[in-house]
Structure 1
Amino acid sequence: MFRKKILFDAERMKYPNTGLYHFCLHLGRELSILFEREDGMDLGFYVPSVVDEFKANARRHVHPLHKIGHYFKTKPALWHATYQLSDYIPHYPAIKKVLTVHDLNFLREKEQQKQGAYLKRLQKNVDQSEAIVCISNFVRNELQQFCDLKDKMVNVIYNGNNINDALLPAKPERPGINFERPFIFSIGAVNRKKNFHTLPYLIAKNDLNLIISGDLVDKQYYHEILGVAKQLGVLNRVFFTGAIEEAEKYYLLKYCYLFCFPSISEGFGLPVVEAMSFGTNILLSTATSLPEIGGDVVHYMESFDPLYLVELGGIIGQGALCAHSADAVKKRAQLFQWSHTAKEYMNAYRHIL
């Protein structure tokens, strides 16, 4: 029986500890399970040679020359481009394409001239694709505003939740950090879009520690955060752990006094879903997709004004920022499941084949 070949582009897995790595990892695993029961389609992976995951089903390894063009002995019926700005999409019209759009964050992060170049690349990939998938309604709205979709199908398929229920939390061990003391926690690559410099204000009127985990991507911005903390007199209570293991992350999410995610540029907001999995009390910015993901079971920062944040910190320290029901928070986290995400993508594949 003839089986239509699907190639899942996992090229972004060459960058570990990133959202795109985990998107490919978790969606690829769930799709693999679904395809075991699929008679009419065969799933293969386009992966970097250094990545062991999906090695058994690797049909093609990433090569820089593929940016110029692909040569296939047998062309796949469908190519799933999992990154909106990918340079690796094959140009054969006979190959159907599904394009996942995670964000248009370059509109907020890049200077105007570079924004135009990124929009041109995105439009090119949109033009090549038969189906577009956005990871939130916020992203779909921005895509509709800034790209010509030519009446193409655009679905919203939420990402899943990366939390592994079988993995037990493990308390981190870092010199000079007391993880027993009540703390506000945040996580993400330390760069300007994460807006971490707003967080020291939240501990100026209380005795809480602030713990931030993630790679120190922007050293200049890291020192700016420390400068704010020093100015407020809280430098001795602000700690950076660097990158952390999954079990350590679970501990920090589960036992933090408050999870705060002040990011100003997100397409989805996976850390929010992960925090909700533990029923944690959560405080978010109102920027981009975060209200869509957090819903009505979290709190929101009304402003980034320093005076407001200091007063908010006083409310937090007094325990007056009322926690939502832990059960309600966990229930919302259950809306985001990779198994459901995979089924929705499978439907998208079938629709265009």
Structure 2
Amino acid sequence: MPQLFLDAERMANLTSGLGQVCLHLGRELVRQKPPGWELTFLVPQQQVGLFGPSADYIVASRWRRVWHPWTFDVWHSPYQNTRFIPTRKTKFIYTILDLNYLSLPIYSAQRKARQKKHYQQCINQAAAITTISDYVARDVRQQLVVPNTTPLEVIYCGVETPSAAPTTSPTVQPDRPFLFFIGMLQPYKNVHTLLPILEAHPDYQLVLAGPNDKPYAQEIYQQAQQMGVADRLLMPGPVDEPTKWWLYANCEALMFPSLMEGFGLPVVEAMAFGKPVFCSPLTSLPEVGGPDAFYFPSFDAETVVNTFRQGMEIYRRDPDLPNRLQQYRQQFQWDVVAGDYWQLYQDVFAGKKTILSQRASLAKTN
């Protein structure tokens, strides 16, 4: 009976992006489990049993990072920074969400070199590699060495959204129409380029939700003060799930000018509510945003303001655009993602060299 192991140790923080990935992928893998397969999750102590009685559980602990003599047919690490690596006898599937760490200036060259070495060691051991976008797949091939015989397959990230948003915001209370950004306030998110929109549109507020304890957040606020728009800039810090969904459902548009994204989850989350999306044309965002998002050709103030104004006019004049956005995001559902992974698990377990070789060849041409 084939045995699948999924590293879900990052569910120690269920509010984090990695925690949510493990949670939703795990639930859907259990729901779609093929007959004859056994499924074991590596989880924190408090999450034992979370996926129901049909799965088995191993508790993640520090000592198990060093000693884990477990035997499984297929082992999947759904994020690149896993602390648990199988023995070389186990067929290992390694997922890379992004290589942003290697480009961030806040980390030393030594730390980046150690991290890159870890990525490469995992790649060298993998029976198959997956990424969450074509952009990340290209970046992996440029920055790391993927053996010619190792398939590299793109399986998009799933996005879980509520069927209905809360009717009121528990923690954030904009008092006029507002634009919305969510994410860590770091320089590569490029959020300061949105301030000229507030200057040009005094009827709008801008809500920047996410961790704001870095110097960049203070720089944004100081710039807003200098421009005279600080009274319409809301920076509530991290928000809970009900507040997040209320903000998506009630904003005028999502603003996401990030310069570096492996996927860009907020883009898809906003589309689920039929909201217009204004984002960067860089890295994975055109791939994820698709044909109906609006892209900033550059980030000088005049271009940002004009792109926003023109995009909102198009959105208001096209009553079918919200429906197209909602339809486009259907490809990023967890049932689709889990189905693709189960097919990969079965192919890797069966050692279908022809199929895996075809996947590897196809990935090289993309």
How far apart, CA to CA, are the structure 2 residues paired with 1:128 and 1:219?
37
Q: 1:327: which partner in 2? A: 323
TM-score, normalization by structure 2:
0.87
Amino acid at match of 2:348: I
1:273-293 deviation digits (Å, cap 9, x = unpaired): 110011101100112111100
CA–CA separation in structure 2 for the residues paired with 1:115 and 1:339: 35
Q: Choose from 120, 123, 136 the match for 1:123.
A: 120
Cα distance in 2, alignment partners of residues 174 and 349 from structure 1: 42
Q: CA deviation at 1:122?
A: 0.2
1:223 to 210, 218, 232: 218
Report the counterpart of residue 345 of structure 2 in structure 1.
349
Partner secondary structure for residue 47 of structure 2? coil
Secondary structure of the equivalent of 2:332? coil
Residue identity in the other structure for 2:93: V
Task: Name the count of aligned residue pairs.
Answer: 340
Q: What displacement does 1:49 show?
A: 1.3
Matching residue of 1:235? 230
Any idea what the Cα deviations from partners look like across 1:96-119, whole Å, max 9, x if unmatched? 111111000013214444332221
**1:336 maps to what in 2?**
332
Q: Displacement, 1:321? A: 5.3
Q: Indicate how the Cα distance of structure 1 residues 85 and 219 shifts in structure 2: closer, same or farther if over 3 A, else same.
A: closer
- Matched residues in 1 for 2:186 and 2:14: separation? 17
- Cα distance in 2 for partners of 1:305, 1:168 equals 34
| Equivalent in 257, 261, 265 of residue 260 of structure 2 | 265
Q: Which structure features the higher share of helix residues?
A: 2
**Contact map agreement 2:8 2:43 (CA 8 A) in 1:** yes
**How high is the sequence identity, in percent, across the aligned residues?**
33
What SS does the aligned partner of 2:68 have?
Answer: coil
Distance 2:331 2:160 in 1: 13
Show the counterpart of 2:41.
45
What do the CA deviations read for 1:215-274 (whole angstroms, capped 9, x no partner)? 33x331211110111111100000022222333222211221111111122111111111
Structure 1 spans left out of the alignment, 5+ residues: none
Taking a change above 3 Å as real, the CA distance of residues 58 and 214 of structure 1, as seen in their structure-2 partners, is: farther
Aligned-pair Cα RMSD in Å? 2.0
Give the counterpart letter for 2:304 in structure 1: L
Distance 2:127 2:142 in 1: 19
Of residues 63, 66, 73, the one that matches 2:64 is: 66
Aligned residue identity for 2:261: E
Whole-Å separation in 2 of the counterparts to 1:245 and 1:66: 32
Q: Say whether residues 1:97 and 2:95 are aligned partners.
A: no
- Taking structure 1 as reference, are residues 191 and 7 closer, same or farther at Cα in structure 2, changes over 3 Å only? same
Q: Which amino acid aligns with 1:230?
A: Q
Query: What's the secondary structure of 1:339's corresponding residue?
Result: helix
- Contact 2:42–2:60 (CA<8 Å) still a contact in 1? yes
State the partner residue of 1:284: 279
* Displacement of 1:350: 0.6
1:12 corresponds to which letter in structure 2? R
2:136 alignment partner in structure 1 = 139
Instruction: State yes or no: 1:184 paired with 2:179.
Output: yes
The answer to whether residue 1 in structure 2 is matched with residue 6 in structure 1 is no
Distance 2:152 2:282 in 1: 23
Q: Displacement of 1:137 after TM fit?
A: 0.3
Cα distance in 1 for partners of 2:177, 2:287 equals: 29
Q: Provide the C-alpha distance between the structure 2 equivalents of 1:76 and 1:39, rounded to a whole number of angstroms.
A: 17
Counterpart selection for 2:210 from 207, 214, 223? 214
Using the TM superposition, give the Cα deviation of residue 48 of structure 1 relative to its aligned residue in structure 2, in angstroms. Answer: 1.3
Deviations 1:189-210 (A, max 9, x none): 2223322222222211112100
Q: Which amino acid aligns with 1:161?
A: V
Q: Is the 8 A contact 1:202 1:312 kept in 2?
A: no
2:181 alignment partner, SS class: strand
- Aligned-pair CA distance for 1:307: 4.3
Residue 320 of structure 1 aligns to a residue whose secondary structure is helix
Partner Cα distance (1:129, 1:10) in 2: 18
Shift of 1:153: 0.7
**Which among 146, 150, 168 is matched to residue 149 of structure 1?**
146
- Residue 131 of structure 1, CA deviation: 0.8
Residues 169, 249 of structure 1: 8 Å contact kept: no
Gaps of 5+ in 2: 350-366
Q: 1:8 is matched by which residue type in structure 2?
A: L
Question: Distance between the aligned counterparts of 1:66 and 1:228, measured in 2?
Answer: 48
SS in 1 for 2:79: coil
Kept after mapping to 2: 8 A contact 1:273/1:333: yes
CA separation in 1, counterparts of 2:88 and 2:118?
18
Q: Distance in 1 between matches of 2:46 and 2:312?
A: 48
Further displaced range: 219-228 or 341-350: 219-228
> Does residue 77 in structure 1 map to residue 99 in structure 2?
no
- After superposition, the C-alpha distances for 1:86-144 in whole angstroms (9 at most, x for unaligned) are 12112x22211111110000132144443322211100011111010111000000111
Cα shift at 1:319: 4.7
TM-score by structure 1 length? 0.90
2:26 to 13, 25, 28: 28
